[in-house]
């Protein structure tokens, strides 16, 4: 380990400050451009020891668990709470601009759509049972240490207001000292708790958790992976006025506000199409909204998510026809022949993107496409494929769904 003083010149994609040195870039958390910092360095990773110059854009963080002085250790959930709004928002937008520029894509990139604190309806906690009791919080960045939290400014008040109840249920279920995760989703009917990486508790522990779920207010369901332990209420989300009962561990957009913005952009672009394909459809975030005006064919590999979408469509009134297809779009993307009767497509893949499907779309005659992504790099790659196939990129809108992190959502709209 060596100690040296460096000047921060930029913020990296993960939210760390970057110092350029003769040995290459060094990444230092909790620093900002223009700051002069004494660091302890191991290879290309630095730890800030003291500052000789602070940025004018530095602000007080919103959370006591943030930063090198965080209470109980540095929470790994956020990386940019110390940055003023304007430069922070410019950085988030530039993540998309830079990814497109790297592919030589010229685009009209809109200003960043901001999301407020307390908007995250889905978070994942880490937990471990110790001799002193249960530790519950977030993993410290770059370590296996769990930072216990008492509050969290990004999470919904519906989640933070029930932290004590979540701890009681986790304590009842915990076995051994190995860490485990709890994915918490705030639904209209209460919290949906999904325990992952947890050694299966015995019947006595399971019954204790069931009793607590019934006693605690606001718990809709407890699951151990895909296995439902207890379900006092059906966990229900609202997709544009259509009720969807989500399966355990289902992917949904992290922020309800971000979801609404994305759906509005997609709907405005595709809304006049007679028949739409929703690829990587999940539980129906876009499909069910689009079905108010258009026939929709939803394609998804996750069988429980697809079943939830199908059941919601069958229960809803006034929708156009909704068909579903279980299909691995990474291995078996829809071909131009499959898309022959399709007027428009929306796709929202995982972070790996939709390269194989984009190649087939580029060969199709689909008139309009909406591409949704949480990874600007793979989005730019997929857009490059579509543009080379004859599509024109009309606009790209970045959305700050992942507040104070190095991640950003984006919606790109294309026409043939």
Residues of the chain with CATH 2.40.50.140: 1-57
Fold of 122-236: OB fold (Dihydrolipoamide Acetyltransferase, E2P) (2.40.50)
Long-range CB contact pairs, 194-201, < 8 A, 24+: 194/223, 194/225, 194/248, 194/249, 195/170, 195/222, 195/223, 195/224, 195/225, 196/225, 196/249, 198/173, 198/174, 198/224, 199/175, 200/175, 200/224, 201/172, 201/173, 201/174, 201/175
CB atoms within 10 A of CB 77: 28
- 129 pLDDT more than 80: yes
- 52 pLDDT more than 70: yes
Residues of the chain with CATH 2.40.50.1070: 122-236
Q: What is the pTM of this model?
A: 0.94
Q: What is the pLDDT of residue 280?
A: 98
Q: Tokens representing 76?
A: 């790994």
CA-based end-to-end distance of the chain: 55
Q: What is the pLDDT of residue 1?
A: 62
Q: What is the pLDDT of residue 226?
A: 85
Fold of 91-116+252-415: Rossmann fold (3.40.50)
CATH of domain 1-57: 2.40.50.140
Q: How confident is the model at residue 392 (pLDDT cuts 50, 70, 90)?
A: very high
CA-to-CA separations, 193 to 213, 283, 326, 377, in angstroms, rounded: 10, 18, 26, 32
| Binding-site residues from annotation for S-adenosyl-L-methionine | 253, 280, 300, 348
Average pLDDT in the chain: 95
340-375, pLDDT tens digit by residue? 999 999 999 999 999 999 999 999 999 999 999 999
Catalytic residue selected from 63, 115, 152, 374: 374
| Whether residue 75 lies in the annotated active site | no
Question: Phi and psi at residue 126, in whole multiples of 5°?
Answer: -105, 150
Residues of the chain with CATH 3.40.50.150: 91-116+252-415
Average pLDDT value for residue range 272-277: 97
| Binding-site residues from annotation | 253, 280, 300, 348
Q: What is the pLDDT of residue 71?
A: 59
- 74 pLDDT more than 80: no
- 260 pLDDT more than 90: yes
- 47 pLDDT more than 80: yes
């Amino acid at each position: 380990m060596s100690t040296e003083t460096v000047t921060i010149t930029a913020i990296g994609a993960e939210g760390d400050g970057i110092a350029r040195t003769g040995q290459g870039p060094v990444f230092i958390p909790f620093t900002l451009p223009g700051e002069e910092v004494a660091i302890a360095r191991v290879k290309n990773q630095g730890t800030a020891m003291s500052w000789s110059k602070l940025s004018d854009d530095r602000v007080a963080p919103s959370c006591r668990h943030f930063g090198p002085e965080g209470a109980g250790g540095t929470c790994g959930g956020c990386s940019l709470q110390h940055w003023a709004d304007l430069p922070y928002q410019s950085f988030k937008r530039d993540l998309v601009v830079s990814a497109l520029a790297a592919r030589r894509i010229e685009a009209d990139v809109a200003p960043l759509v901001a999301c407020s604190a307390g908007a995250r309806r889905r978070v994942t906690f880490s937990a471990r049972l110790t001799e002193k009791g249960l530790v519950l919080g977030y993993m410290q960045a770059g370590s296996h240490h769990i930072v216990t939290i008492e509050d969290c400014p990004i999470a919904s008040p519906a989640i933070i207001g029930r932290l004590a109840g979540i701890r009681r249920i986790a304590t009842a279920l915990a076995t051994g000292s190995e860490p485990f995760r709890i994915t918490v989703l705030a639904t209209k009917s209460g919290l949906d708790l999904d325990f992952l990486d947890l050694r299966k508790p015995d019947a006595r522990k399971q019954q204790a958790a069931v009793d607590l779920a019934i006693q605690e207010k606001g718990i809709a369901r407890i699951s151990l992976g895909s296995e439902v332990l207890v379900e006092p209420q059906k966990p229900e989300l609202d997709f544009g006025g259509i009720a969807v009962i989500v399966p355990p561990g289902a992917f949904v957009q992290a922020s309800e506000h971000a979801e609404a913005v994305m759906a509005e952009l997609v709907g405005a672009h595709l809304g006049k199409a007679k028949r739409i394909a929703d690829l990587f459809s999940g539980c129906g975030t876009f499909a069910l909204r689009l079905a108010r005006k258009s026939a929709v064919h939803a394609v998804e590999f996750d069988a429980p998510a697809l079943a939830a979408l199908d059941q919601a469509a069958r229960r809803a009134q006034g929708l156009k026809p909704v068909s579903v297809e279980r299909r691995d779009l990474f291995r078996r993307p829809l071909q131009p022949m499959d898309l022959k009767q399709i007027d428009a497509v929306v796709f929202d893949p995982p972070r790996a993107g939709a390269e194989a499907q984009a190649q087939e779309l580029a060969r199709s005659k689909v008139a309009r496409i909406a591409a949704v992504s949480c990874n600007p790099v793979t989005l730019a790659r997929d857009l490059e494929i579509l543009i080379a196939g004859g599509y024109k990129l009309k606009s790209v809108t970045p959305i700050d769904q992942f507040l104070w992190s190095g991640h950003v959502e984006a919606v790109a709209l294309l026409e043939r």
